[in-house]
Amino acid sequence: PAFTVLPEVKAAAETMIENRGRKAHDDWRKVLDDLAASDEECFDETVAVLNGKRCLNALDGMTRYESGAEASRDTSHKVIQVLAEKMDNLVGGSADLSSSDKTAIDASGLLDDEHPTGRNVAYGVREFAQGTIMNGMALHGGLRVFGGTFLVFSDYLRGAIRLSALQKLPVVYVFTHDSIAVGEDGPTHEPVEQLMSLRSLPNVDVLRPADPNEVIAAWQQAIDSVDHPTVLVLTRQKLPVLSRTSKLADAGVARGGYVVSPQKGMRPSGILIASGSEVSLAIKAQERLFKLGEDVSVVSMPSMERFDAQPQNYKDQVLPPSVRRRTAIETGSTRGWERYVGLDGTIVGLDEFGASGAMDDVLANAGFTVENVVLTFQKTNVTGENHLSAIRL
C-alpha cells in the first residue's frame, strides 16, 4: 500500500501513549483536581493563566520620562522589573549575555533542577536552541516568555523566530547592541542587514524605539500581543528623552509611526523619517535646516509593520503625499526605505560593514552626522513651492 504503519511501530506508539502520555496527563489532572479542592482561588487563577490571561495596560502606572538620557536596553531592564512584579508567569533568559542585554528579572534566581520556580533561564551560547525552547514554553501555555541576545546574533535563531511567527506565538525577542554604534567591538558585532531582514519576516512585529518613552510603549505592545512574536531592537548607547514623547509615544508606537517633531508652519517643506537612535539625529538636522530656510517635520517610525497596517488617512497625515522631499535615516541597510521616501527622496543608511573604533568616529565615518543629513536632504528633488532652492541655500 502507498502508506503503511508497521505493526511494531503501531505497538511502540500505543505503549508510549499509554505508559508515558496517559500517565503524565492523569498526574496533571490530579494536580489540578487537588488544587481545586484545596484552593479554589488559586485554581481559578491557574486555569485563567493557562488559557492565556493577559495583563492589560501593565505599564500604565510606570512613570514616563520628561528629561535625561538612557540606553534603551537599560529602560527595557526597568520595564522588565515592573512587568515581573505584576506578572508571576513572566519568564526571561539570555544566550549568556544577560549582563549586557539587561534581560534578567532581578527579584528571581536562575531556573534549574533545584530551583524550578526560578524565572531566569541561562540558555548558554546556543541561540537557536534558546528560540525553540521559548517557543516550546509558549506552546505549553501559561507562561509569557522573553529572551535576549545581541542583534547581530539574531541570525543564529532566525529559524526559531520564523517558527514563532508561523505558530502565532507571542514570544518577545530582546535584541540589543543594535547598530554600528557598538563601536569598538568592530564589524563582527555591528549589525547592518539584520534589522531590515527581520522586518521581512511575515507576522513579526519589529519595534526600534527612539527614546525611553518609546521603549515603555514598545514593551506594552509586545506584552499585549496574542498571535505574533515581537522583536525589540535596543541600543547600548544612551538616547536622549525626546520632547513630547511622554505624551505621544504610547499612541505613536502603537501605530508604528508618528510626527514626533512637527514643522513650525502650516505645511512642511520636507520630511525626515528615522527610527531608534537616529530620531534624535533627525531632530538636530531639523533645527539646522530651519536656519537654512527649510521647515521640515520629523517622523519617528519605530515599526514599519504597524505603520503599514494603519488606515490610509492616518498615513497621509504623517507622510502627506504632496510633500515629496523626504529623507530616511537609519544605521542599517537602506533597502525597504524606498517605499517611504519615494522617487524624489534620499536615504542616509548603511549598505556595507561597519568599522572598529570609538562610537562617535564610527558613526561620523558612516555619514551619521547633522551635516551629512542636511546635505543629503538638500539633494532631494527641489521642485515644489514651499522651499528655497538649493542654490539659494
CATH of the domain at 288: 3.40.50.920
- Alpha-carbon span 84 to 91, nearest angstrom: 8
In-domain check, residue 281: yes
pLDDT, one tens digit for every residue, the chain (393 residues): 788 999 999 999 999 998 889 999 999 999 999 999 999 999 999 998 888 888 888 898 899 999 999 999 999 999 999 999 999 899 999 998 999 999 999 999 999 999 999 999 999 999 999 999 999 999 999 999 999 999 999 999 999 999 999 999 999 999 999 999 999 999 999 999 999 999 999 999 999 999 999 999 999 999 999 999 999 999 999 999 999 999 999 999 999 999 999 999 999 999 999 999 999 999 999 999 999 999 999 999 999 999 999 999 999 999 999 999 999 999 999 999 999 999 999 999 999 999 999 999 999 999 999 999 999 999 987 554 333 333 323
Please, what's the b/e burial string for 93-110 (b: 16 or more CB within 10 A of its CB; e: otherwise)? bbbbbbeebbbbbeebee
The Cβ of residue 189 has, within 10 Å, a number of other Cβ atoms equal to: 17
DSSP state of 106: T
Active site residue 14: no
Beta bridge partners of 159: none
User: Are 134 and 145 a contacting pair, CB within 8 Å?
Assistant: yes
Task: For residue 81, give every residue at least 6 positions away whose Cβ sits within 8 Å of its Cβ, in sequence order, or none.
Answer: 105, 106, 107
pTM: 0.91
Long-range contacts of 352-358 (CB under 8 A, 24+ apart): 352/192, 353/187, 353/190, 353/192, 354/180, 354/182, 354/186, 354/187, 354/190, 354/192, 355/180, 355/186, 355/187, 356/183, 356/184, 356/185, 356/186, 356/187, 357/183, 357/184, 358/183, 358/184
User: 56 by DSSP, 3-state: which?
Assistant: coil
User: How many folded domains does the chain comprise?
Assistant: 1
In-domain check, residue 186: no
In-domain check, residue 346: yes
Whose CA is closest to 92, among 56, 70, 123, 116?
123
Whose CA is closest to 213, among 265, 249, 261?
249
pLDDT at 55: 81
pLDDT at 1: 75
The Cβ of residue 196 has, within 10 Å, a number of other Cβ atoms equal to: 19
In-domain check, residue 386: no
In-domain check, residue 22: no
In-domain check, residue 362: yes
User: Are 261 and 103 a contacting pair, CB within 8 Å?
Assistant: no
User: 340 by DSSP, 3-state: which?
Assistant: helix
User: Are 76 and 232 a contacting pair, CB within 8 Å?
Assistant: yes
User: Are 285 and 257 a contacting pair, CB within 8 Å?
Assistant: no
User: 110 by DSSP, 3-state: which?
Assistant: strand
pLDDT at 383: 54
Of residues 70, 127, 214, 294, which has the active-site annotation? 127
In-domain check, residue 139: no
- Alpha-carbon span 1 to 335, nearest angstrom: 51
User: Are 286 and 272 a contacting pair, CB within 8 Å?
Assistant: yes
In-domain check, residue 326: yes
DSSP state of 98: H
Q: What are phi and psi of 295, to 5 degrees?
A: -105, 85
Q: Provide the residue range defining the domain that includes 316.
A: 256-378
